[in-house]
Copies of this chain bind each other. A is one copy, B any other.
Amino acid sequence: MERNTKQQQQILEILKESKSHPTIKELCDLVNSEYPNIGQATIYRTINKLVLDNKILRIACPNGIHYDYHKEHYHFYCLRCGKIIDLNLNHDFIVNLLSTKDLNIFKVDLLLEGVCPNCSNSEVEKDGIK
């Protein structure tokens, strides 16, 4: 039977409170700065379980995997600064868009890539994406 341990609650809480979309490494640092005795194996095991249980989101960006507590929204990845911006697209609309197919859609994984307003406005590297 499945147990609800203090560590799992604490890890989920840290991710929930994090404003950013941390990578595993960043999450380990966040967790360990508050709870130094949680081992990284536990963090990996917990995160993997949470993803499988659909309790958190796994965002596959060009610069690696990020995690997000909130669900039912999508993300934009800035190719210049790497910032991840939350998008409030209508979830049902997108699912409807795809429901003409004879496929049972459980999950929509959508990541937009481009240049965020900050980077668009900056004068640096205006000659193109690298």
Binding site for B on A (CB under 8 A): 58, 60, 62, 76, 79, 85, 87, 89, 93-94, 97-98, 101-117, 120, 129
Main secondary structure of the interface of A (DSSP, over half): strand
Given A60-B60, A87-B101, check contact A113 B117 (CB 8 Å).
no
Give Cα distance in the complex from A58 to B113, angstroms: 13
Query: Is B98's CB under 8 angstroms from A112's CB?
Result: yes
- CB closest residue in chain B, given A98: B112
Query: Copy number of this protein in the oligomer?
Result: 2
Min Cβ gap A49→B in Å is 13
Query: Is A114's CB under 8 angstroms from B103's CB?
Result: yes
Query: Is A89's CB under 8 angstroms from B98's CB?
Result: yes
Query: Is B110's CB under 8 angstroms from A115's CB?
Result: no
Given A109-B110, A109-B112, check contact A117 B89 (CB 8 Å).
no
Give Cα distance in the complex from A117 to B79, angstroms: 36
Chain B residues near A120 (CB-CB < 8 A):
104
Partner of A103, one of B101, B108, B109, B116: B116
Which one of A89, A94, A110, A120 has the greatest number of beta carbons of chain B within 10 Å? Answer: A110
Query: Is B115's CB under 8 angstroms from A106's CB?
Result: yes
- CB closest residue in chain B, given A111: B109
